[in-house]
Amino acid sequence: MSFAIPAPAQITIPVVGGDPFPVRRIYCVGRNYAAHAREMGHDPDREPPFFFMKPADAIVPTGSVVPYPAATADYHHEIEMVVALGKGGRDVPVDKALDLVFGYGVGLDMTRRDIQAQAKKMGRPWDMAKGFDQSAPCAPILPVSQSGHPDKGAVWLKVNGEIRQQGDLGDLIWSVAETISYLSGLVELFPGDLIYTGTPEGVGAVVKGDKLEGHVDGLQDISITIG
């Protein structure tokens, strides 16, 4: 098939021991750990999950030097477990939701916090705070056959070797199954979709030269340098 202009390349993420994972869409859950909701000034009562998106080409592989982005002076890290879907569905019941999962990765929901704060104040969309270029670093995906379905275990992020964020998957307000089920009632999910599941407390700013290392127990670590 020919196109009017050169077609964009399929975005992929490496898979441990297999062929690359083709990325379709990136969904992100907001405020999915109570202590992070509190640090952002919200009551962590179990209100329904809410979502925002990043473009698929915001993905960058582990080991990358990620340029400090334009238009911010408050560029934040958010360490998150990432769910990679191998099957789709709509209105998926909670007890069937994990059947959709291909595997799990460790990602960073990089955020231009100053743009987000202004968007919140003005009642404007978050897209330019969350969905900018190279805003979604993601480590190689571990297939479920090797990872199982992690529901507890340490989540941490170090900057220049010092712990900045520390949490536990067991503290997710909405579990992976509940999140998939809820999201599938809003949009039809497809193979290739990713879900960034939210970040624990301790988000903060990074500057040029910082080295970020992120970890979720049982998964592949992520490491990037801000350039």
Q: Least distance from C-beta 17 to Mn ion, angstroms?
A: 28
CA distances from 32 to 36, 37, 60, 114 (A): 8, 7, 23, 21
d(CA 35, CA 40): 9
CB of 35 to Mn ion, least distance (A): 14
Which residue's beta carbon is nearest to the bound Mn ion?
109
The stretch among 44-52, 88-96, 106-114, 174-182 that binds Mn ion (CB under 5 A) is 106-114
**Minimum distance from residue 126 beta carbon to Mn ion (Å):** 10
Is 78 a residue that touches Mn ion (CB under 5 A)?
A: yes
Using CA atoms, how far residue 201 sits from 5, 82, 173, 227, in Å, is 44, 17, 13, 25
Angstrom CA distances, 150 to 124, 142, 175, 218, stand at 35, 11, 10, 8
Q: Is residue 116 involved in binding Mn ion (CB under 5 A)? A: no
Query: With respect to Mn ion, which residue has the nearer C-beta, 78 or 193?
Result: 78
Which of 109, 193, 210, 213: binder of Mn ion (CB under 5 A)?
109
CB of 11 to Mn ion, least distance (A): 19
Sketch the per residue contact string, 19 through 58, with Mn ion: x for CB under 5 A, - otherwise. Answer: ----------------------------------------
From 50-58, 74-82, 183-191, 201-209, give the range in contact with Mn ion by CB under 5 A.
Answer: 74-82
Q: Is 193 in the site for Mn ion (CB under 5 A)?
A: no
Q: Return the number of the residue (109 or 210) whose C-beta is nearest Mn ion.
A: 109
199 binding Mn ion? (CB under 5 A): yes
Stretch that binds Mn ion, among 4-12, 143-151, 195-203, 210-218 (CB under 5 A): 195-203
- Please name which of 137, 68, 71, 147 lies closest in space to residue 109, comparing C-alpha atoms: 137
- Using the rule CB under 5 A, is 82 a contact of Mn ion? no
Q: Which of residues 119-178 bind Mn ion (CB under 5 A)?
A: none
Per DSSP bridges, beta strands 59-61 and 136-138 are: parallel
Please, which residue, 143 or 201, has the CB nearer to Mn ion? Answer: 201
Rounded distance between C-alpha atoms, residue 17 and residue 184, angstroms: 29
What residues make contact with Mn ion under the rule CB under 5 A? 78, 109, 199
